[in-house]
C-alpha cells in the first residue's frame, strides 16, 4: 500500500494551450501506459478545458463546487458536487467551472493521452445552455 497525505500531492498549473482560466492538476494515480490515470482537477470560476476526447472515454466525479459539461452536438449539462459524468470513447466535449463558482472534479481515464482539438471553447459556447 502507498499512502499520500493531502499536503504531499503536487498540484501543477494546467497548460494554457489546453485550458482557459486558472486550472490545477493533482495526480492521484501512478500511471502505467495502459493503466488508470486518476487526477484531481481544480477550476477557478469560468475556467474550462478546450475541446477534447479520450480514446477509452472519461469518468468525471464532481468533488466540490459546480460546473458545466458540453458535447460537440451542443448538449450542455450543469453539474455539482456528487455528480458523475461519463464521456464515451471519442466523444468531443469540454468541462469546467460555472461562471461564479469554482469546481473540483476527479478525472478517470484509461487508454492513452487526451486528444486535444486545436480550438478553444469560445465565450459564446461557454454561455450556451
Work out the burial of residue 23: count CB atoms within 10 Å of its CB; fewer than 13 is exposed, 13-18 middle, 19 or more buried. Answer: buried
Write out pLDDT tens, residues 64-113.
999 999 999 989 999 999 999 999 999 999 999 999 999 999 999 998 89
Can you tell me the distance from the alpha carbon of 56 to that of 26, in angstroms, rounded to the nearest whole number? 21
> Domains in the chain, please, with CATH?
9-127 (2.60.120.10)
pTM, whole model, 2 decimals? 0.93
Residue 32 has pLDDT above 70, yes or no: no
Amino acid at each position: 500500500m502507498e499512502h499520500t497525505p493531502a499536503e504531499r500531492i503536487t498540484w501543477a498549473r494546467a497548460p494554457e494551450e489546453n485550458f482557459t482560466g486558472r486550472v490545477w492538476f493533482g495526480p492521484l494515480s501512478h500511471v502505467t501506459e495502459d493503466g488508470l490515470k486518476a487526477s484531481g482537477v481544480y477550476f477557478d470560476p469560468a475556467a474550462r478545458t478546450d475541446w477534447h476526447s479520450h480514446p477509452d472515454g472519461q469518468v468525471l466525479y464532481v468533488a466540490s463546487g459546480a460546473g458545466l459539461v458540453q458535447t460537440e452536438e451542443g448538449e450542455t449539462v450543469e453539474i455539482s458536487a456528487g455528480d458523475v459524468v461519463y464521456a464515451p470513447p471519442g466523444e468531443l466535449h469540454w468541462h469546467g467551472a460555472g461562471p461564479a463558482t469554482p469546481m473540483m472534479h476527479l478525472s478517470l481515464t484509461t487508454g492513452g493521452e487526451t486528444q486535444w482539438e486545436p480550438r478553444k471553447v469560445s465565450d459564446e459556447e461557454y454561455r450556451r445552455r
